[in-house]
Amino acid sequence: MIRAMSQGDSNPATDPKAAATAESVVAGRHVVFSHGKESGPWGRKISSLAEVARSEGYEAHSVDYRGLEDPRQRVARLVEFCKELTGDLVLVGSSLGGYVAVASASLLHARGVFLMAPALYMPGLPELRQRVLDCPATVVHGWRDDVVPFEHSVRFAQTYRAALHLLESDHNLHNQIRVIQYLFEYFLIALDLPALAFE
């Protein structure tokens, strides 16, 4: 099985805080994280957002892509991992993991996609098919990103009418983790709100 456990994961049987968190998780609600090319499954951003996911009633998973350089293989690994999950699925991706999440979203019937400095429209990556996304999306990107230009996220957000947050940060976004936690919490809450009807 591909699932990796967080360093912060605790045993609900011995940790009262973990037990309370476990009780709040709703069956059939999953957040699946996809890390970037050079990072691992439980880096700072993913670990921080996993706490938010659990507090909102989701089970948090993070796929380990280390050793897989080919983006197509990463997409295949995510799709294979999610086959075991039933119910609501939210995909979260950082950098190359953002590309993987977008490429997989419609295949997995994702309920929503949350992206951090996603590696979209980058040279060397397979071109995304047209109308690749069919669910709500939020994108967070740093103004000073020197790996993936923020303009790529602007283009994506404009194409798919995604919410876009440009923050005073670089590619890793580490100085904005608290803000990203708030944005992710709002994103998950908004998924449960009824859609507004406009005449």
**pLDDT reading at 26 higher than 80:** no
Q: Mean pLDDT across the stretch 77-85?
A: 95
The answer to whether 58 and 20 are in contact (CB under 8 A) is no
What own/partner pairs with CB < 8 Å and gap ≥ 24 does 79-88 have?
Answer: 79/104, 79/107, 79/108, 80/2, 81/2, 81/3, 81/32, 82/30, 82/32, 82/108, 84/1, 85/30, 85/32, 85/61, 86/28, 87/27, 87/28, 87/29, 87/30, 88/28, 88/29, 88/30, 88/58
**pLDDT reading at 18 higher than 90:** no
Q: pTM (2 decimals)?
A: 0.85
Is residue 22 very low, low, confident or very high in pLDDT (cuts 50, 70, 90)?
A: very low
The answer to whether 178 and 44 are in contact (CB under 8 A) is no
The CATH number of the domain covering residues in 32-191? 3.40.50.1820
Residues in CB range of 154: below 8 A, 6 or more apart: 164, 166
Q: How far is CA 127 from the centre of its chain?
A: 20
Among 195, 183, 54, smallest CA distance to 135 is for 195
Q: What is the DSSP letter of 176?
A: G
- Give the tens place of pLDDT for each residue, 122-131: 999 999 988 8
**pLDDT reading at 138 higher than 80:** yes
**pLDDT reading at 23 higher than 70:** no
- The residue ranking higher by pLDDT, 129 or 25, is 129
Q: What's the token pair of residue 87?
A: 């119910």
